[in-house]
Amino acid sequence: MSLISLPSLSLLAVTSGLSANQLSLLKCAYFKHRILIQRSEIEKTGLQVLPPPLLHPARFQQPHRESAGPDAIELRTRMAKASGFQAAVPQEGQTQAGQGAGALPAPRRPPSGRAGSGAAGTAPARLYLCCAGGRCRGAVPLLPLPPAEHHHLHGGRAGGGRRGRAGGAQLGPQLPEEAAGAAPPARRRLRLPSLLLLLLFFLHCRRHSSRFAVLCSAPAAAGLLTCAEHMPWKELTSKKRDEFEDILEERRLSSDLRYAMKCYTPVIYKGLSPCKPNAIKSAVLHSEQVQYVIKQLAKEMGESPDIIQEEATEILDEMGHRMQLGAVRFFAFTLSKIFKQLFQRVCVNEEGMQRLQHAIQEHPVVLLPSHRSYVDFLMLSYLLYTYDLALPVIAAGIDFLGMKIVGELLRRAGAFFMRRSFGGNRLYWAVFAEYVKTMLRSGYAPIEFFLEGTRSRTAKTLTPKFGLLSIVMEPFFKREVFDTYLVPISISYERILEESLYAYELLGVPKPKESTSGLLKARRILSDNFGTIHIYVGQPVSLRTLASGRINQCPYNLVPRHLPQKPSEDIQEFVSDVAYKMELLQIENMVLSPWVLVAAVLLQNLPAMEFELLIEKTLWLKGLTQTFGGFIEWPDNLCAKKAVLSGLTLHSNIAGLVDGHVVLNDKGVEDGAVGEIVFRHALAVLMCATYRNQLLNVFVRPALVAVALQMAPSFRKEEVYSCFSFLRDVFSNEFIFFPGISLKDFEEGCFLLTKCDAIQTSQQEIYPTDKGSGTVSFLSAMFRPFVEGYQLIFRYLSKEMKEAFTEKQFIPGVRNFVFQLLEKGSTQCYEALSSDMQKNALSALVQLGAVKKKKMPSGFTYNVNQEAVSKILDMFDARIPVQKPVAARL
Amino acid sequence: MAAAAGEAAGGGGGSPSSARRRLRIISGHLRGSPRAPGRGALSPSPCKAQDGSAGPASGSIPKKRQELLKWNGWGYNDSKFIFNKKGQAEFTGKRYRLGGMVLPTFKEWIEKTFGASLEHKTTSRASLNVNDVPPSIVNEEFLQDLRATKISYSQDAEDRVFRAHGHCLHEIFVLREGMFKRIPDIVVWPVCHEDVVKIVELACKHNLCIIPFGGGTSVSSALECPEEEKRTIVSLDTSQMNRILWIDEKNLTACVEAGIVGQDLEKQLAESGFCTGHEPDSMEFSSLGGWVATRASGMKKNIYGNIEDLVIHIKMVTPRGIVEKNCQVPRMSTGPDIHHFIMGSEGTLGVVTEVTIKIRPVPEYQKYGSVVFPNFERGVACLREVAKQRCAPASIRLVDNAQFQFGHALKPQVASIFTSFLDGLKKFYITKFKGFDPNILCVATLLFEGDREKVLQHEKQVYDIATKFGGLAAGEDNGQRGYMLTFVIAYLRDLGLDYYVIGESFETSVPWDRVLDLCRNVKERIVRECKEKGVQFAPLSTCRVTQTYDAGACVYFYFAFNYRGISDPIHVYEQIERAAREEILANGGSLSHHHGVGKLRKRWMKESISDVGLGMLRSVKQYVDPNNIFGNKNLL
């Protein structure tokens, strides 16, 4: 290891401005090999991990005969076999790199239209070094950034902000440039130091059989370092998650105006022929699909098609977006300002962005973010703008149009508006579906919508809505596109902007209508601190891969594709499976803050808890959460006390430290009437529960096993499983379970409990261990509010509801019922007041067949089957055994 | 039976003989003697064998096929692509227009497209190793009975191996590098219908398996012997049943023995001034019986129709007896048409011995043409419009850009500076003046046939439509070269095999509205599968629309890749081909338009025609051939 010594590396780091604030990465690459690097040196630059798949564009590049000797082909062959990608060096980097790496095939690239910039437009020129010596298999791609990046450095992209900081003088005054505007002359000469560094790296790779890929932006020689040590990429995702990068950091250091006016030349879909929003509208209007429905309706209603066509035009005008770069820039500017006020950090996994970048070029992309807050709405657009990717069009509820100016602004930022319910309106459905599909098919822009349909008031993931998902999947089913990428995106908030609003809403105080004045009034929150946002862009999921072997195409082959066709059961099931899968992927990558753990512990120890004990318990829970696969953002060097304290500070409106005890913050409890006290307390509990809830989807499988263990009359496996399966059915609206795999969920729960030594399993039995009784009781206590809440609601239904009722009658009724019980003190289950839980419980009963749901002209009405409900209630109370066919194999 | 439309061979002006023939006919017309008088040879005669003579093979293909044809590749022994001493590609032999010509840009194309290199060569075995060949196991009693019938037969290893395969890639690969596990035990050459009856009777008596063999151009593994077949396998080679029995000029029909190959049929009919107009790409080698057995389609079907439109009457020998109709009429309503059990039966029911087929006077005038479109989408739209107006010329084909470039690479060295200057000018006009992107544009090739006046009128109509879709007329020469490509491609595969490049073609039919999606998706699927299977260089994945119908089109794909670095290329290739077929089906395409099912595509039959449909076919097989004498295991 004489080649890379500390001085030489430090020197290089300084002279070339090698980027990397991610010390951990360098640790991964160097530390192992006993090379120490000063943090300060690394922090001057940006560093980034890229998964090997990103490199594949080079795979099929042709060998360049001049630079590729006969050996090169062999080399490529071996390389590709070993690592799944090939090496190639384009253009001017070629010679130098070629000398360095020995054998470097180059891809053919069409000459770029823009002078001196091979990287113009969408695809950045790639410069790959490769090595195949010894046992090492690796490639070192050098990636000159597109011209836009050279000057404006999107976001926290490597080299970007940091370069800005280090060499601000390099960045000349910027003129506002439109997307298609002239690119500034690029400086693409590879600087010697960076080259040297890469060579060293290369040699380093040779010495150690590790896989490296170095991405380097040529002009400033800001290196992006990639390293996938010893590990195939897949393992990496399952075990170690991507690193986050704060995109606000750069915003705090450079001008927002300049950022908003940066040259934006996004990466777009390869097959896209650019068109204006209006062109899409007219394409939709004249599409066979819409014309067919118009003709049908005209015939049925006896009206002239022109009138209906007119109607369709109106629908389109109401719905359609009018994306304009001006509005986007406006948002880029204002959102920067607002985000900086509200949040400490906005963290993004840059690997995810890289993956997204590739996905966008390859196939139409659908972005599926989680939905916890209005902030989600433009967050992704903001992010994609920052990273120079095509801006998404966003499905928004029509209520936004009620907001003056803002609605119109959103429209210009790419929002399109859908009515909340349009099941019966065939014309609307046809126009809407075709509008979405047209944008998808042409690859016009990524399509973004929320699977959950609405903001989750409880921070639990809501059960998915299928309508839009099935629309975006249809072009693939009909093979109008080769593939579609679905990208699950998890947006986690350390503190949710609307937390108290949600709690009020859940308690029945109506949600304020979306309005501009409301928005303006809400500006006082700007002075508050809402902590960190984590955005995890998941691995794009290929719909084709999901569908392979599952979908029988026949129904689509036998009917002309433009006819509206009700999806077959197969398809519906598939859509639902995909929806659940995507939500589970969202959940998997949700970032949990220490405060979430604190909230979970605190809720089990009301009204007050000793601070030290809380810390201890929190730490214990952290371990448990990690065992269960939770993704906790807890820096290595942060001590538990500090973590808990910072959580308490951030959430001082919910809980506080009084005399060494942590208590819920329900102000004014003492001097109010009893009802007032209950309401106040419920408010605090619900707000706190919102944070605990973030933990639930990670815990639900083992926890339900724990609950089942306590419910079941014996420890026999079948009985525990029956209880588990019963609970899973009852809570199917409350938590996200992949449909139909009850047994697998059970096994997973058991496995996780076994892993943390909470239970032991034998051939026939499952029983808690002595050591694990604490865990089991903690888990069941965690879910007790749900068990008890459902019992209360079921009791209400079985006792009080003799006649048909509507949901509007049911919610206040059950709320009063629970309220009275709470006032009397005969229950402590404040969470049963949550309208969310009440609705979920009702629909669970509908699914279990204990309540009949009927469609009436005025809406849905419900009829309770008293007997069935009391039977379910008895099962809950473990008074009668759960009658469930036992799974054949356990 | 032989697949009628193999992936190759001389359509259109392909073979010089046919070109010359056409020329002769045309000049004949011009001289004002439209029809040569009928020859005496054309008279109904019961059987050659009964004349005492063994009936010398009058056809183009001898009994010993290996004397004329390659044993381990496509076509004639003397015709092949080679790289000459200068390293330039050249096509040998004098049979084709391309013969003896140097193709200066071809080497570059092959290197660029496949990443192949002339230094890396594989070589086939020089000749068949007789010791590898499975022994012939034939019952002595049967042999005695056979000798008694005086039907010619052979147990020679070369003869048997030659009839053990068609022209699928894996079959050729086995020939070059390995050996089939099971091949026919004996080859018989009946010379007439009665001989076939005798052979089938003997087979029933001795419980043997018969596999009919026509031209051997199958591309569906239809000729492969089932490995598990324990009975003696008799390869029934129909090639000696090759006479035209009679011509009926009043009804414009001809009764022909089923073993006749396409080129002989046309040649002999032309002597009387007629043609069938059925020209599958493999017409040099494929036989009439094979066309019937696979539901073949010819290039000029727009004028003459596919085989099902051409056939008036079929006589077939089955284990149950002879099946035929009582009259030769254009149409009858007597329940389901029994011809449709026979057409496409792929040798599972019996042997087609005689076919009465429609004939037409040889057309007066023939003209090629071509149109350049700015992109494939516009081209397809134009073809759709042509089909809609029902004014398709005898043949209209649209090749995509990759195939256009492929065709370009096969351009022979130009004769004069003037021609090359003209070519340059054309190129300049199209790419610079008209703004066509040479990496996107595509070409339609056309063939008009008929009365001179009508052809010219027709031509104008088609070019007018093309203009509406942005098409530019691109000359006769390009059109002709396009058709040439279809017959040389099979020879090209043999060349590719020498340089680690393997390839195959496959076809489908698809409704018009799905043509574009299907083409794009299948091509992309191939590229993606290659990538996933570890193929190092992007494959050649290209398509053309070869036939237009009222309701859809026939699409033909070529797919080839460089397999260096892959240990089991045939397996990889088969996986990719299978994926491509699955993609076709998922895109609403058919299992096959004219190649047939054979054993290669059997797995999708149920999906294609439903359980009940399959049951219907099975019950016919069960009745006609309960002991599975025709046991080639195709189709069902």
- SS3 letters across B72-140: CCCCECCCCEEECCCCCEEECCCCCCCCCCEECCHHHHHHHHHCCCCCCCCCCCCCCCHHHCCCCCCCH
CA angle A460, A466, A472 (to 5 degrees): 120
Pick the residue of B109, B510, B520, B537 with the most A CBs within 10 A to test the interface with A by mutation. B537
Which residue did the predictor score with more confidence, A477 or A178? A477
Q: Taking CB atoms and an 8 Å cutoff, what residues of chain B touch A63?
A: 115
Q: Taking CB atoms and an 8 Å cutoff, what residues of chain B touch A73?
A: 115, 117
Q: Is B11 annotated as a binding residue?
A: no
Pick the residue of A557, A565, A571 with the most B CBs within 10 A to test the interface with B by mutation. A557
**Residues on B contacting A at a C-beta cutoff of 8 Å:** 112, 115, 117, 119, 513-514, 517-518, 520-521, 524-525, 527, 531, 534, 536-538, 564-565, 585-588, 607
Does the pLDDT at position B498 exceed 50? yes
Residue among B521, B537, B565 minimizing CB distance to A482: B521
Of A156-160, A501-505, A853-857, B119-123, minimum mean pLDDT range: A156-160
Does the pLDDT at position A177 exceed 60? no
Residue A84: closest C-alpha in chain B: B534
Residue A562: closest C-alpha in chain B: B513
What percent of chain B is predicted at pLDDT more than 70?
90
Distance CA(A703)–CA(A696), nearest Å, equals 9
Secondary element (H or E) of residue A818: helix A807-824
Flag if A479 and B585 touch (Cβ within 8 Å): no
State pLDDT tens for residues A676-697.
888 888 888 999 999 999 999 8
**Per-position b or e across A697-726, b if 16+ CB within 10 A of its CB:** bbbbbbbbbbbbbbbbeebbbebbbbbbbb
pLDDT band for A219, please (50, 70, 90 cuts). Answer: very low
Q: Which of A223-232, A233-242, A820-829, B506-515 has the highest mean pLDDT?
A: B506-515
Q: Is B212 annotated as a binding residue?
A: yes
Pick the residue of B109, B509, B517, B563 with the most A CBs within 10 A to test the interface with A by mutation. B517
Contact B217, B264 (CB under 8 A): no
Q: Which two tokens stand for residue A277?
A: 């929003």
Q: Taking CB atoms and an 8 Å cutoff, what residues of chain A touch B525?
A: 482
pLDDT band for B145, please (50, 70, 90 cuts). Answer: very high
Which residue did the predictor score with more confidence, A49 or A627? A627
Distance CA(A614)–CA(A605), nearest Å, equals 9
Q: What is the mean pLDDT of residues A233-262?
A: 73
Secondary element (H or E) of residue B572: helix B569-586
**Per-position b or e across A39-55, b if 16+ CB within 10 A of its CB:** eebbbbbbbbbbbbebb
Q: Which residues pair with A487 in a beta bridge?
A: A367
Distance CA(B156)–CA(B178), nearest Å, equals 19
Pick the residue of A62, A479, A483, A543 with the most B CBs within 10 A to test the interface with B by mutation. A479
Burial class from Cβ neighbours inside 10 Å (0-12, 13-18, 19+) for residue B437 reads exposed
Strands A212-217 and A222-227: antiparallel
**Closest Cα to residue A472, out of A444, A445, A437?**
A437
Tell how far CA A59 is from the center of its chain.
Answer: 30
Phi, psi torsion values for A493, nearest 5 degrees: -110, 135
Q: Is the CB of residue A81 less than 8 Å away from at least one CB of chain B?
A: yes
Q: Taking CB atoms and an 8 Å cutoff, what residues of chain B touch A479?
A: 514, 517-518, 521, 586-588
Does the pLDDT at position A585 exceed 50? yes
Q: Is B91 annotated as a binding residue?
A: no
Which sign, positive or negative, has the C-alpha torsion A55, A59, A64, A67?
A: positive
Flag if B537 and A62 touch (Cβ within 8 Å): yes
Which residue did the predictor score with more confidence, A55 or A774? A774
Q: Which two tokens stand for residue B40?
A: 């005496």
**Per-position b or e across B482-513, b if 16+ CB within 10 A of its CB:** bbbbbbbbbbbbbbbbbbbbbbbbbbbbbbbb
pLDDT band for B20, please (50, 70, 90 cuts). Answer: low
Give, in order, the Cα–Cα distances in Å from A490 to each of A347, A397, A457, B573: 11, 20, 16, 41
Q: Taking CB atoms and an 8 Å cutoff, what residues of chain B touch A107?
A: none
CATH 2.60.120 fits A274-588, yes or no: no
**Closest Cα to residue A799, out of A882, A867, A874?**
A867
What secondary structure letter does DSSP report for A339? H
Tell how far CA A291 is from the center of its chain.
Answer: 37
3-state secondary structure of A416: strand
What percent of chain B is predicted at pLDDT more than 90?
68
What is the pLDDT, as a whole number, of residue B48? 54
Q: Which two tokens stand for residue A861?
A: 């009405």
Residue B608 CB neighbours (<10 A): 14
Contact A3, A33 (CB under 8 A): no
Q: Which two tokens stand for residue B67?
A: 């004397």
Q: Which two tokens stand for residue B148?
A: 């008694």
What is the pLDDT, as a whole number, of residue B524? 95
Q: Which of A152-161, A637-646, B461-470 has the highest mean pLDDT?
A: B461-470
pLDDT band for A671, please (50, 70, 90 cuts). Answer: low
pLDDT band for A245, please (50, 70, 90 cuts). Answer: confident
Rounded to the nearest angstrom, the minimum Cα separation between B566 and chain A is 10
State pLDDT tens for residues B311-340.
999 999 999 999 999 999 999 999 999 999
What is the pLDDT, as a whole number, of residue A658? 84
Flag if A60 and B531 touch (Cβ within 8 Å): yes
Distance CA(B157)–CA(B136), nearest Å, equals 8
Flag if B112 and A480 touch (Cβ within 8 Å): no
Rounded to the nearest angstrom, the minimum Cα separation between A556 and chain B is 8
**Residue of B153, B556, B563, B573 marked active site:** B556
Phi, psi torsion values for A309, nearest 5 degrees: -60, -40
Q: Is the CB of residue A482 less than 8 Å away from at least one CB of chain B?
A: yes
State pLDDT tens for residues A273-311.
778 888 999 999 999 999 999 999 999 988 899 999 999
Where, residue-wise, is CATH 1.10.10 in chain A?
785-889
What is the pLDDT, as a whole number, of residue B415? 65
Flag if B536 and A479 touch (Cβ within 8 Å): no
Q: Which two tokens stand for residue B196?
A: 């076939």
Distance CA(B238)–CA(B232), nearest Å, equals 19
Rounded to the nearest angstrom, the minimum Cα separation between B119 and chain A is 10
Q: Which residues pair with A225 in a beta bridge?
A: A214
Which residue did the predictor score with more confidence, B354 or A405? B354
Q: Which residues pair with B154 in a beta bridge?
A: B187
Of A48-52, B401-405, B489-493, B539-543, minimum mean pLDDT range: A48-52
Q: Taking CB atoms and an 8 Å cutoff, what residues of chain B touch A80?
A: 534, 536
Q: Is B485 annotated as a binding residue?
A: no
Q: Which two tokens stand for residue A260?
A: 């908003």
Does the pLDDT at position A35 exceed 60? no
Q: Taking CB atoms and an 8 Å cutoff, what residues of chain B touch A480?
A: 517
Q: Taking CB atoms and an 8 Å cutoff, what residues of chain B touch A553?
A: 585-588
Q: Is B421 annotated as a binding residue?
A: no
- Reported residue count of chain A is 890
pLDDT band for B24, please (50, 70, 90 cuts). Answer: low
Does the pLDDT at position A338 exceed 50? yes
* Beta strands, E only, A639-790: 655-658, 661-664, 759-761, 766-768
Residue type, B268: Q
Distance CA(A570)–CA(A589), nearest Å, equals 29
- B365 flagged as catalytic: no
**Closest Cα to residue B162, out of B73, B293, B261?**
B73
Q: Is the CB of residue A70 less than 8 Å away from at least one CB of chain B?
A: yes
pLDDT band for A498, please (50, 70, 90 cuts). Answer: confident
Does the pLDDT at position B424 exceed 60? yes
Q: Which two tokens stand for residue A399?
A: 């209520």
What is the pLDDT, as a whole number, of residue A515? 74
Of A519-523, B17-21, B418-422, minimum mean pLDDT range: B17-21
Rounded to the nearest angstrom, the minimum Cα separation between A81 and chain B is 7
Does the pLDDT at position A16 exceed 50? no
Residue among A60, A73, A560 minimizing CB distance to B538: A60
Residue A547: closest C-alpha in chain B: B586
Distance CA(A747)–CA(A155), nearest Å, equals 43
Where, residue-wise, is CATH 3.40.1130 in chain A?
274-588
Q: How far apart are the first and last CA of chain A?
A: 54
State pLDDT tens for residues B164-178.
999 999 999 999 888
Q: Which CATH class is domain A785-889?
A: mainly alpha
> Please, which residues 700-719 of chain A have a Cβ atom closer than 8 Å to chain B?
none
**Closest Cα to residue B550, out of B433, B383, B428, B377?**
B383
Q: Give the helix ranges, DSSP H, for A509-551.
A: 516-521, 543-547
pLDDT band for A9, please (50, 70, 90 cuts). Answer: very low
* Beta strands, E only, B400-464: 442-450
Contact A36, A6 (CB under 8 A): yes
Of A232-241, B419-428, B443-452, B582-591, minimum mean pLDDT range: A232-241
Does the pLDDT at position A153 exceed 70? no
Q: Is B190 annotated as a binding residue?
A: no
Q: Where do we find the tokens 């990538």?
A: B531
Contact A454, A371 (CB under 8 A): yes
Residue type, B159: D
Residue among B117, B119, B536 minimizing CB distance to A76: B536
Residue among B521, B531, B587 minimizing CB distance to A59: B531
Q: Is the CB of residue A560 less than 8 Å away from at least one CB of chain B?
A: yes
What is the pLDDT, as a whole number, of residue A879? 67
Strands A393-397 and A447-448: parallel
Mean pLDDT of chain A: 74
pLDDT band for A883, please (50, 70, 90 cuts). Answer: low
Q: Which two tokens stand for residue B255?
A: 């009764």
What is the pLDDT, as a whole number, of residue B40? 41
Q: Is the CB of residue A144 less than 8 Å away from at least one CB of chain B?
A: no
State pLDDT tens for residues A508-555.
877 777 777 777 777 777 778 889 999 999 999 999 999 988 877 677
State pLDDT tens for residues B56-91.
446 788 889 988 999 889 999 999 999 888 888 898
Does the pLDDT at position A215 exceed 70? no
Distance CA(B418)–CA(A540), nearest Å, equals 56
- SS3 letters across A578-628: HHHHHHHHHHHCCEECHHHHHHHHHHCCCCEEEHHHHHHHHHHHHHHHHHC
Residue B169 CB neighbours (<10 A): 21
Tell how far CA B134 is from the center of its chain.
Answer: 29
- Reported residue count of chain B is 636
Strands B395-399 and B442-450: antiparallel
Flag if B564 and A77 touch (Cβ within 8 Å): yes
